[in-house]
Amino acid sequence: MTSQPTLTKAGHGPEGPGGPPTGSGLQAGLKNRHLSMIAIGGVIGAGLFVGSSTGIATTGPGILLSYALVGTLVVLVMRMLGEMSAANPTSGSFSAHADRALGPWAGFTIGWLYWFFWVVVLAVEATAGAAILEGWIPAVPQWGWALIVMVVLTATNLASVGSYGEFEFWFAGIKVVAISAFIVVGGLAVFGLLPGVDSDQAGLSNLTGHGGFLPNGAGAILTGILLVVFSFMGSEIATLAAGESEDPQRAVTKATNSIIWRIGVFYLGSIFVVVCLLPWDSKAIAEDGSYVAALDSLGIAHAGQIMNFIVLTSVLSCLNSGLYTASRMAFSLGQRGDAPQAFARTTHRGVPRAAILVSVVFGFVAVFFNYKFPDSVFLFLVNSSGAVALFVWLVICFSQLRMRKIIQAEAPEKLVVRMWLYPYLTWLSIAFIGFVLLYMLTDTEHDGRSTVLLTMLVAAVVLAIALVRHRLAGRRAAATAPERDEVGVG
CB atoms within 10 A of CB 331: 27
Give the pLDDT of residue 249.
85
> Is residue 215 over pLDDT 80?
yes
CA–CA dist 403, 95 (Å, integer): 13
Partnered with residue 8 across adjacent β-strands are 27
Summarize pLDDT for 299-314 with one digit per residue, the tens: 888 888 888 898 899 8
Give the pLDDT of residue 196.
65
Summarize pLDDT for 251-266 with one digit per residue, the tens: 888 888 888 888 898 8
Summarize pLDDT for 380-430 with one digit per residue, the tens: 888 888 899 999 999 999 999 999 999 999 999 999 999 999 999 999 999
Summarize pLDDT for 268-279 with one digit per residue, the tens: 999 999 999 999
Give the pLDDT of residue 378.
86
CA–CA dist 44, 171 (Å, integer): 11
Mean pLDDT, range 471-483, rounded to an integer: 75
- Inter-residue contact 226 to 448 (CB < 8 Å): yes
CA–CA dist 209, 280 (Å, integer): 9
Summarize pLDDT for 147-187 with one digit per residue, the tens: 999 999 999 999 988 888 898 899 888 988 999 999 999 99
Summarize pLDDT for 364-388 with one digit per residue, the tens: 899 889 888 888 888 888 888 889 9
> Is residue 40 over pLDDT 70?
yes
Partnered with residue 30 across adjacent β-strands are 245
> Is residue 24 over pLDDT 60?
no
pLDDT-above-90 percentage for the chain: 44
> Is residue 12 over pLDDT 50?
no
Residue closest to 321 by CA, chosen among 166, 478, 188, 482: 166
Residue closest to 90 by CA, chosen among 364, 331, 257: 331
More confident residue, 198 or 315: 315
Task: Please report which confidence band the pLDDT of residue 16 belongs to, taking 50, 70 and 90 as the band edges.
Answer: very low
Give the pLDDT of residue 428.
97
pLDDT-above-70 percentage for the chain: 91
Q: What is the pTM of this model?
A: 0.88
Most confident of 62-71, 194-203, 467-476: 62-71
Give the pLDDT of residue 197.
62
CA–CA dist 288, 53 (Å, integer): 9
Residue closest to 44 by CA, chosen among 265, 344, 353: 265
Rg (CA), the chain: 23
Mean pLDDT, range 178-204, rounded to an integer: 82
